[in-house]
Each structure stands twice: as structure tokens, then as C-alpha cells.
Structure 1
């Protein structure tokens, strides 16, 4: 029987409802832990919302649906690839020892077949986008391929994850407009620091096991100063989010949800306790809501009062 993984919710739909034979495959793609799908998808949705708001219109729902499917598939492929590369390390860490590849439930060859299948379907979605977006999608593969090795060579693999997970902000903007502009680059930069913060929180769960396995992380590097580090990352993230509104010439309705976004991030940093792994996991999961709030702020920025008042000059 497939083991319940400790960082999945006890009542997740895979363990509760999926057919027994499919469970190892769904867990290989992390479908029992959907937070990662949201965190990969939301920068793309934010890029789509930003592009639309700059033109005074609502986000394209069909494009958002395509990004949801693509994010779910590419996250599944990326997680399976990570499990293949890290299978020996995963076997030494309590939180990851029961993963399908590390436990031997799925072979390396079977995992590669899963990776190829998910990637091909994602490619079909990508090819429906403008040429600039297609180029960006192909370019992201280098970031994805290098990520599993970062924890072996740097104390800041969370920064590399930020580069990787937020690539969708550029891709979403390019899919909507066929180009890349400064506000999209600012959204990408903001997202990098957002991910650096929330993945540092996530890494708090593994402080002891990572030290035993020799795995590097920003949480280990910061140690007891992790809450302060996360706060700094989030301050930079929030400041960059405000510059997006200025250079994107968004309307004044951007501000209320943006303020809520900043308060949500500050709350996470304040509540982080490096000695409480379960609480850190809950804070990490709350970033789904944080990303949705920023998406709402960007989408609301489409509205401008009579006279065409903008935030930016």
C-alpha cells in the first residue's frame, strides 16, 4: 500500500479517493500536495492579469485555464525529475523517505516515462502561445534541470527555485501580449523574493534531517535568524510589487488588495518559529492565498476612474 506522505494533508484527495493503483503516480507528481501547483501557476496568472490591466481589460480566462493545466503538468514533471535526481538523499530524510522513487515503489525508468509524458502534453499547450512565449517556455528548461543540484552546491537553492517558479510571470505576460515589458520584469523580480521567503519557511521542516544528509538550504544558513531573513525577503518582494503598479500605470483599486498582500507576508515572517516544523508548513501553504491576493490586486488595477487617473506618472 502506498504510504501517506507527511507533508500532505491527512485528508488529501489522493489518499482518500484515488484508485490504489494510481496513487504512487499521483504522489510522484505531487498531486496530493496541490500547494506547489498553485505556487507555480500563480505567477503566470499574475503576468496575465498585469498584461490585461495595463490595457484596461480583465484577464483572459482561456489563457488562465491553459496556464493552470500547464503548471500542473510541468510541476508534476519537475517533481518527478527532482525525485529521480534526489532519490538517495530522499531516502535519508524522514519527510521524503516514502516518496515513490526513493521507496522503490516506482522505478527510475518508470519515473522518466512519466516525466516525458507530462512534458509532451505541456509542450502542446506551449505551442499555442506567441513565439516570444514559446521561447521563454523552452528557456525555462535549463532552470528546471539545474534546480535539484543547487542544494548540493549553494546555501541558497531557494533563490534558484525563485528564478524557476516565477518564470511563469514572464511567460504569462508574453502569452498575453507577445512581448516582455519592464512591469513584467519587476513582477518576476518580486516573485523571486516571494519564493525565497516562502521556501525558506518550507525548509524549516527539514533543518535536522538536512544537516544529517549534508543538504544545504537558506533555512540552515540563516539558522535562528530565519524569521528576520524571511521578513527582509518579503519587504523587498512587496516594494517591487508596488513598483509594478507605478510602471504599469495601474488604477487605484490596486492599492487595497496590495496592502492586504503586504500584511499577509508580514504575518508569515512574524509567526515563523524555527523550532516548529508543522507550523512552518502551515505558513508555507498560506502562500496560495498570498499569491491570489496579488493576482486580485493586479486584476483590479485595470479599473480607472473617469479622467484616466493612473498610479504611475
Structure 2
């Protein structure tokens, strides 16, 4: 069996960037992705726009041309999938990595379809695949959605949106404008300060005028077929009629996979252990790239500030290779 220089887990923007950097330095590599190319972006809301401008989303100095100041989901899909196609990157799609084990200096990687061997492994799996569950009665009902794509299914329905981040605010505004009766349940005392600056006044004005109801300092406690139950900061319980719950409570990396790969997870936020200058974890030659580095602090890393990980990792691999050859 061929021993690859690098096996990359995840074909998101940063995984693609790692592959381009490997190819530039004539290292053998393979990307293994459990979905499609930039799978997380594919699952974003259909009309989502990035906070970053196009040039901040570029990889490998390949221009990202967008007619709008902030590119949207479809433009990003075209850009990243176009790069994979034009550069003919080595990618296996719809293949999930199950285990990563290191034996005598070489990684054995088992997937849902095959087995591979590699000198180095880069985990660039993001965090969008596992919802941050509320763990309340009724969360498993079919009316509860942890992913939001478009507003049309919710026209003329009673919607509860849980959260106050960008995803929650977008869902609330879009469903409201398609005729939904929208109620937001928000743990904090205000809309998140991280909400896109051109959207924040819109949601605040809709709440102020009563078009969208908002219960601040409140927490959802139970979901039934026809209602939801929540409590406020004073412990007062309220039940309201409800057709759908959009639980925009965030997402988490696959901590079990990281832990089973030998990576130490530190503190309450389960931050993976890695060297900030090389991105190498406590397992030698096993690297992290992109937003997976943040643990539960999923707001720390995004495309714009983690594009540099690819060059950092490949440079360290090259230095290690030269050192071993001396």
C-alpha cells in the first residue's frame, strides 16, 4: 500500500488550501471528505452572505471575483468547487474517516470505503456537522430543526427561533418576511454583538415594533407537538402555541473523533492541544487546520484567519522531512 506524505480529512476551504500547498511542494496527498466539496458551505442557508469580503475568502492566491461586497453561499460554492475541479485535486468524496491510528511512525487510516497509510495527517473537519443540543424534552420531534436552509416551508406557521447569533437572526427575519409568526427565545439580555452589522439594526427594529416577538433572558425547557414551554430569568413558566422550532444553538466539532485519534482536549471548552506555530497536535505529525482548532469556542476561527494554517503545516512537514533525511 502506498504511503502518502499527507492525508487530509475534510474538503472544506482550509482542507483544499492544505492540498494546494502540498501539491505546490510536490508532496503526495489525498483529501477524504464525508460529503461533497465544501460540504459545510453546501449546507448553509441558501441566501446566506458572508461577513468577510471576497478577497478574505481566497485561497492559494486564486482571485475570488464577486459582484457584491459580501459574497453569498452560491458564489462560494462555485469558487471552491471550481478550484478543486480546475486544479484536479485528489479528493475522495462521500467517504467518512472512521479511525486514525499511529503505528511505528506511520498513520493507518480506516474509512467507510477503504484503508490508507500516511506519514502525516491533517484534520480539517470544521464544526458544522454536530448540532449543539439543548437536551430538553421534545427536542427529538420532527418539528425541531437544527439546520435552517430557506424560509418557504414556514409561511403562515408559528415559529420559535432559539438563539440570537447570525443564524438565528437570519432565520427569524427571513421567515417573518415570508409570513411566519416568529418568536425568539434568547438566553441573553440582547441580540448578540457578533451579528452582522448591516443586519443587527433590522432585527432590533422588528423586535422594537413588535413584528417579531423576543423573550430575552429566557430558556426553552420543553417542546410538545403543538407548543413550546420556556422560562424567564424570574423562573416564570410560559407556554405558547407552536408549529416549528428552529434551534439555532450552534454546532460542535466531533470531539469523540479527535479524542480517539489521540488528541488531548483541554478545559471546559475542550480546546484541542496543538502548537500555535506549526498546528501540530500532541500526536507528532498529526495536525489541525481551520475552525476545528477552537473546540467549543467555534467563534475563534473562520476561513479568513485560518487560511494561513496550510502553509504553516506544510512548512513544518518539510522541515521534519529534511531533518529526518540528515
TM-score, L = length of structure 1: 0.27
Greater helix content: 1
TM-score, L = length of structure 2: 0.27
Find the structure with the greater CA-based Rg: 2
Greater strand content: 2
